Amino acid sequence: MMKKGILSLATLGLLASPLSFTTAHAEGNGDNLSKNMIEHLGNEIKYSRSFSVKNINKMGILSNSTSSDDDFIFETEPNEEFATADNTSFKKPLIGQLLSTDEYYDYDLHKVVVPNDGLLYVAGYTDSTNIDLSFLAWEKGYVESNRLQYLDNWEEDGIEYQVYQAKAGTYYVEVYDNDQEQDIDNNTEDDQYVIATGFEDNVAPIKPSVNKVDNNDLVVTGKAEANSTVTVKNGSTVLGTPTKATSTGTYSVKIPVQKAGVTLSVYAKDAAGNTSVAGTTKVVDVIAPAKPIVNRVDNNDVVVTGKAEAGSTVAIKRGTTTLVTVKATTSGTYTAKIAVQVAGTKLTVTAKDAAGNTSVATTVTVVDVIPPGKPTINKVDDNDLKVTGKAEKGSIVTVKKGSTVLGSATTNTSGVYSVSIKAQKKGTVISVTAKDKAGNTSAAATYTVVKH
């Protein structure tokens, strides 16, 4: 009896459909069918025509020929079940016979392994008038799914061609003598058929994955189709040398360091020349801005100025307290308003770029430019050997008569001073100044020595 698989597709009219597809279609982009592959299958079958079926004995073994048995694959019975199907080769045609027994009409199953997603070609020919050759590719168990999609068939020079879009996997070509439907059983050992198979990879690799790339990196890594050639581009410029992905699909392409914000495109091309859609990634900025420049800040200033990375956010802190943040201009200058700070206060200034990278801090100490207040002077008479009073704490108090220094001393933590001098005559005018640690000198306080 006829196999269910053949009947179901015959019912669909696939084999009986008009042969509208010709080799001219192979040159069109729409069908994406290879004329070279069709010609190859035709040549394989034409070559097999010169080999007479009389040279095949009942066991399918070459018996008497000038050709080598290495030139062909011969069917081996039984091959009616998927488990016993003959193996085919994309490099050799398969020669078979359809000889019925008392129990059943003969049909053959031939296994074909599709290495990866692409086009499966099957071509069939017979020079026998006793064989109405019918063949079709199937999934195991005659399952119908989107793994094997029938595309078209046509005939040229007596050879029938079929084309399928196939996922990687194992499939089976079922061969049957269609005249057995009419219970015609006239095949002899002299009647043969030839099946040839071919494969064309017409499926582009999947879009490569791309690991993070920063503006320090000298390689781009990720995953692509195994053994595909991976190319990295910046716009239309190829970066580095295209690199072959490993058998597990990992790749590593050397590139020059790229600027932050640049978009890189990664393509994978398989051995058949199919190129994937680009995997893209934007180069990440991981380089912190340079340490900002900070101009001098004194205890009169209400702004802090300097230079930092253009467009960066400048933060000014006193300890852990942020006094102000401002954005640097396109030329990198910044001006930040602050409250007047006490002399000796340490301010830290950092710059943070748009990617969030923060510079090393620049530290500046607020400079004291304000002189001490005018000292006070206690009573001084012509017997006194000391001048006392109050001035800025920690300042150096100097007592003068005209331009002559009579003595000096440092005030204590309460600001009290006591400067030793020689007794001065009544009416002598002395002057007292205080100089702080920053070198700022107060206005002079004066006093006229009195009689004791």
pLDDT (0 to 100) of residue 152: 93
**3-7, 85-89, 244-248, 350-354, range with the lowest pLDDT:** 3-7
Rounded to two decimals, the pTM is 0.68
> Residue 104 corresponds to which tokens in the numbers above?
């059943």
C-alpha dist (Å) from residue 91 to 71, 116, 312: 9, 17, 65
> Residue 80 corresponds to which tokens in the numbers above?
């009616």
Domain 4-200 matching CATH 1.10.10.10: the answer reads no
Tell me the mean pLDDT in the region 382-407: 97
Calculate the CA 246 to chain-centre distance.
16
Using DSSP's 3-state secondary structure scheme, residue 12 falls into helix
The total number of residues shown for the chain amounts to 452
> Residue 331 corresponds to which tokens in the numbers above?
């030329």
pLDDT (0 to 100) of residue 62: 37
Tell me the mean pLDDT in the region 8-23: 38
Tell me the mean pLDDT in the region 201-224: 97
What DSSP character marks residue 331?
A: T
Domain 293-365 matching CATH 3.30.450.20: the answer reads no
How far, in Å, CA of 414 to CA of 394, rounded? Answer: 9
**10-19, 215-224, 273-282, 439-448, range with the lowest pLDDT:** 10-19
C-alpha dist (Å) from residue 306 to 31, 70, 233, 364, 367: 66, 84, 39, 11, 16
Phi and psi angles of residue 441, each rounded to the nearest 5 degrees, phi first: -110, 135
pLDDT at 30 over 80: no
pLDDT (0 to 100) of residue 2: 41
How far, in Å, CA of 414 to CA of 398, rounded? Answer: 17
Residue partners of 12: CB distance under 8 A and separation at least 6 = none
Among 303, 228, 306, residue whose Cα is nearest residue 270: 228
**13-17, 149-153, 213-217, 307-311, range with the lowest pLDDT:** 13-17
What DSSP character marks residue 355?
A: T
pLDDT (0 to 100) of residue 108: 95
Contact predicate 388/417, CB 8 Å: yes
pLDDT (0 to 100) of residue 179: 84
Q: How confident is the model at residue 51 (pLDDT cuts 50, 70, 90)?
A: low
Q: How confident is the model at residue 68 (pLDDT cuts 50, 70, 90)?
A: low
* Domain coordinates in residue numbering, the chain: 4-200, 209-282, 293-365, 376-448
Calculate the CA 413 to chain-centre distance.
66
How far, in Å, CA of 382 to CA of 425, rounded? Answer: 5
Q: How confident is the model at residue 282 (pLDDT cuts 50, 70, 90)?
A: very high
Contact predicate 345/318, CB 8 Å: yes
Calculate the CA 374 to chain-centre distance.
70
Tokens 């300890």 locate to: 319
- What count of other Cβ atoms lies within 10 Å of the Cβ of residue 43? 12
Which of 142-149's residues contact partners 24+ apart within 8 Å by CB, and which partners? Answer: 142/3, 142/4, 142/5, 142/8, 148/120
Decide: residue 123, CB within 10 A, 0-12 exposed, 13-18 middle, 19+ buried: buried
C-alpha dist (Å) from residue 111 to 24, 84, 88, 139, 169: 29, 9, 6, 10, 11
> Residue 190 corresponds to which tokens in the numbers above?
């002299």
**61-70, 179-188, 209-218, range with the lowest pLDDT:** 61-70
What value does the mean pLDDT of the chain take?
88
C-alpha dist (Å) from residue 442 to 131, 264, 325, 399, 401: 124, 66, 36, 12, 17
Q: How confident is the model at residue 70 (pLDDT cuts 50, 70, 90)?
A: confident
Among 106, 152, 109, 94, residue whose Cα is nearest residue 131: 106
pLDDT at 330 over 50: yes
pLDDT (0 to 100) of residue 36: 81
pLDDT digits (tens, 9 = 90+) for 169-184: 999 999 999 887 777 7
Q: How confident is the model at residue 13 (pLDDT cuts 50, 70, 90)?
A: very low
E-assigned strands of 46-185? 73-74, 86-87, 94-96, 107-114, 118-126, 133-138, 148-156, 159-166, 169-177
How far, in Å, CA of 287 to CA of 258, rounded? Answer: 12
pLDDT (0 to 100) of residue 102: 64
CATH number of 376-448: 2.60.40.10
Contact predicate 289/357, CB 8 Å: yes
**How would you list the strands of the sheet with 237-244, edge to edge?**
237-244, 229-234, 263-269, 279-282
Give bridge partners of residue 244 from the DSSP assignment.
229
Q: What percent of the chain has pLDDT over 90?
A: 78
More confident residue, 378 or 20: 378
293-365 shares its CATH topology with 376-448: yes
pLDDT (0 to 100) of residue 49: 67
pLDDT at 224 over 50: yes
Tell me the mean pLDDT in the region 409-429: 97
3-state percent helix, strand, coil for the chain, nearest multiple of 5: 10, 40, 50
> Residue 280 corresponds to which tokens in the numbers above?
């893209």
Contact predicate 214/124, CB 8 Å: no
pLDDT (0 to 100) of residue 232: 98
Amino acid identity of residue 145, one-letter, is S
Phi and psi angles of residue 26, each rounded to the nearest 5 degrees, phi first: -65, -20
Tell me the mean pLDDT in the region 38-49: 80
> Residue 323 corresponds to which tokens in the numbers above?
């006094």
Q: What is the DSSP string of 429-440?
A: EEEEEEE-TTS-
pLDDT at 9 over 60: no
**17-21, 26-30, 270-274, 353-357, range with the lowest pLDDT:** 17-21
CATH class of this structure's domain 209-282: mainly beta
pLDDT digits (tens, 9 = 90+) for 99-143: 887 667 889 999 999 998 999 999 999 989 999 999 999 999 999
